[in-house]
Chains A and B, each alone.
Chain A
Amino acid sequence: MKRVYVSRDMASVALGADEIARTLAQAGCDVVRTGSRGLFSIEPLVEVEMPEGRIGYGPVGAADVGKILDGTHPHRLGDVGALPFFVSQQRFTFARCGITDPLSLEDYAAHGGWRGLDAARAAAPQQVVDIVKASGLRGRGGAGFPTGIKWQTVLDAPDGPRFIVCNADEGDSGTFADRMLMEGDPYCLIEGMAIAAHAVGASRGYIYIRSEYPFAIDTMRAAIDRAAGRIAPFVIEVRAGAGAYVCGEETALLDSIEGKRGQVRAKPPLPALKGLFGKPTVINNVLSLAAVPFILAEGAQAYADVGFGRSRGTMPVQLAGNVKHGGLYEVGFGITLGELVNDIGGGTESGRPVRAVQVGGPLGAYFPPSMFHLPFDYEAFAQAGGLIGHAGITVFDDTADMAQMARFAMEFCAVESCGKCTPCRIGSTRGVEVMDRIIAARDAAPVAAEGAAGGYLGEALHSRAPSRIDTGIAAQTALLRDLCDTMKFGSLCALGGFTPYPVLSALDHFPEDFGAPAPIEQAAE
């Protein structure tokens, strides 16, 4: 019987992988469902086990099964791992994803699983925390706070119960690494949480997964059942979110697990000291916890050897949106934005020029190609007025209307605001209104000649507005900047506080979309 591998990842299934798997099974194959390899331009992907190794075919459909099995299909890729997209990666966290059966404990152990947990349990809690500190691992959820220091705070907290909480509320558009890991290698996350539990003395853990990820919820629950004996006495429970983006903010997430409205708490107190149910809590992103087994198994130095500046280790970068070769690309920090978008991603799928990329989800900045020299590094992005966030890169071609994208950022903030603080709750709605006025004035006076912007026609369009409000572009743009300033410094959390990033970066880098003159190209030195 021929053994074949087909991904069960939600993206693969959305592209038709289930139908192919069924057809292969009907043809008498032994079908192993894996996670996704992470390159979606070759999915649905079928790998056939041959004497020389696994031979991939993709993209393929159910009608192609005959030609796949007799080896004549034109989309024969050979060894998938040898494709340029994979050869240049450094897969520390995603080493098993796409290769193993996600729920097979045998596969997990055979591919290096549990070595990190065994190493941790052979060491004292303080030693484990020291190893994580030495690795330089920083929070992969976006804030980049050193993971080891967070664990130290919890370890040093007064005696009593404490919790490990995994933030799997991956709501940022353009990111899917958490989802892929939970669906493709769930034991890796479980092992990371068990290591954290040993390090800080916790006996109970929660994984909060957004409800938009039903496959991840099912896979994690099944994996926890099977691994229960291996991680005992530590126990883990999955909690499903309920469609609130703001619950990705750690304190809102804690309130949500507690059965409350997912509203942000003011900090301090830090969750490390007063977290879930008021107890000391380690709350880390999926990717932070999933990086830990490698660090414990291979040593802190092996992880810290890779990276750039103060950003150590690897980052699972997600190439998304209008990009030719979208997918998951794990690599050491320091690779430039341009290499990621053009060399790895192959530019846009539409074939048109890249106009902008948004890095870090709905709260991340829009960058033009003129900034593609930026190295992927927490500090470099912060200095350039943006953020890495969860390392999602959404590519837009030249048909994108950046003023509409700025409006969308405000609209999204208004839809998802938890309502606790005024700058976010009210500011976002006012922001949509201001953007509507700017767009209306721009469309009324499409040629942005000096002084004409918004001019007579713009005024006329808003003739019913109180006459004291200047609805011209210049005044509204000034108002937008002022509003963004208030939101940035006055909001309780990153939702209201970071929404100005996409808005202001769009305004600064693409002023022509806001009815202002295009920036004068800097002359080459």
Chain B
Amino acid sequence: MHSLEPPREDATLIRLEAADALIAQWTRRHGAARDQLLPLLHMLQEEMGFVDDALVAPIAAAFNLSRADVHGVVTFYHDFRRVPAGRHVVKICRAESCQARGGAAIEAAAAERLGVAMGGTRRDGQVTLEAVYCLGLCAVGPNALVDGRPVARVDADRLDAIAREIAA
């Protein structure tokens, strides 16, 4: 399937082959009706860490959709990453209820303390800092999600603890 593309490094090739196997396994179990596309993308991101642009073609083939269609879906949803994230992912809530509790200052402090701008990955690949719009913990903000673990009442001390956790 990738024979027309220039030769890739071995690691990439192995990764793409693994993804092809995951897609085949998925469609055998769940079928390839279009409504299985989002669950498949969630699974791929869970397994691979991100949805590589190189997977758009095999997914389109498996679902009998155009590549534009699949690309359109992958890029529409904020959750799907097209490049790998850092080893740790810190999400800070930017929504109104957290703002009402000093969220903007915490957002700035987090960027400074973790050494990475909002929406970016630190150069050493250790952490990605992202905005999230509401975790539903609106009476105990400002809130964060650290590698999927919710943290409430984020202040300077909790940011320090998060920074230590990320350094480890």
CA distance A259 to B96 in the complex (A): 30
Instruction: Select one of A10, A349, A362 contacting B96, CB under 8 A.
Output: A362
Contact B79 A320 (CB under 8 A): no
Interface class of chain A by DSSP? mixed
B42 — which chain A residues lie within 8 A by C-beta? 211, 240, 242
Q: Is B48 an interface residue (CB 8 A)?
A: no
Of A170, A261, A395, A396, the contact of B72 (CB 8 Å cutoff)? A261
Q: Is the beta-carbon distance between B133 and A262 smaller than 8 angstroms?
A: no
Could you tell me which residues of chain B, from 85 to 142, have a CB within 8 Å of some CB in chain A? 95-101, 132-141
Contact partner of B139 (CB less than 8 A), chosen from A260, A277, A323, A412, is A323
Distance of A277 Cα from B34 Cα, bound (Å): 11
Given the complex, which residues of A lie within 8 Å of B133, measured CB to CB?
171, 173, 212, 245, 412, 415-416
Is B25 close to A, CB under 8 A? no
B37 within 8 A of A: yes
Tell whether, in the assembled complex, residue A243 and residue B78 are in contact, meaning their CB atoms are under 8 Å apart. Answer: yes
Within 8 A of B (CB), among A299-322: 318-322
Query: What's the interface size class on A, roughly?
Result: 35 or more
Is B73 in the interface zone, CB < 8 Å from A?
yes
Are B137's CB and A176's CB within 8 A?
yes
> Is the Cβ of B134 less than 8 Å from the Cβ of A262?
no
Interface residues of A in 239-293 (CB under 8 A from B): 239-245, 256-263, 277
Whether A172 lies near B134 (C-beta < 8 A) is yes
A396 to B143, CA, bound (A): 17
Size bracket of the B interface = 35 or more
- Provided the pairs A212-B135, A244-B76, A321-B97 are in contact, do residues A326 and B148 lie with their beta carbons within 8 angstroms? no
> Is A167 at the interface (CB under 8 A from chain B)?
no
Cα distance, A172 to B135, chains bound together (Å): 10
A to B contact number (C-beta, < 8 Å): 145
**Contact between chains at A326 and B139 (CB < 8 Å):** yes
**Cα of A212 to Cα of B73 in the assembled complex, Å:** 19
By beta carbon, the residue of chain B nearest A10 is B150
A392 at the interface (CB under 8 A from B): yes
Closest residue of chain B to A366 (Cβ to Cβ) is B96
Is there contact, CB below 8 Å, between A15 and B38? no
Report the separation of the CA atoms of residues A245 and B131 in the bound assembly, to the nearest whole angstrom: 13
Q: A171-B134, A176-B137 are in contact. Are A243 and B77 (CB under 8 A)?
A: yes
A416 and B149 alpha carbons, distance in the complex (Å)? 24
Instruction: Determine whether the beta carbon of B97 is less than 8 Å from that of A259.
Output: no
Task: Give, as a whole number of angstroms, the nearest-CB distance from A171 to chain B.
Answer: 6
Mark interface residues in A209-238 (1 if CB within 8 Å of B CB, else 0). 001111000000000000000000000000
- Which A residue sits closest to B131, measured CB to CB? A415
Contacts of B39 in A (CB 8 A): 239-240
Among B39, B78, B132, B136, chain A packs the most CB atoms within 10 A around the CB of B136
Q: How far is the CA of A213 from the CA of B133 in the complex (A)?
A: 12
CA distance A327 to B137 in the complex (A): 9
User: A358 within 8 Å of B by Cβ?
Assistant: yes
Contact call A320/B139, Cβ cutoff below 8 A: yes
Whether A394 sits at the interface, judged by CB under 8 Å, is yes
Distance to closest chain A CB from B137 (angstroms): 4
Known: A14-B143, A174-B97, A320-B97. A258 touches B35 (CB 8 A): yes
Is the CB–CB distance between A396 and B34 below 8 Å?
A: no
Determine how close the nearest CB of chain B comes to the CB of A98; give it in whole angstroms: 15
Give every chain B residue within 8 A of A213 (Cβ-Cβ). 135-136
Q: Sorted from nearest, which 4 A-B pairs have the closest CB atoms?
A: A326-B139, A173-B95, A320-B138, A321-B100
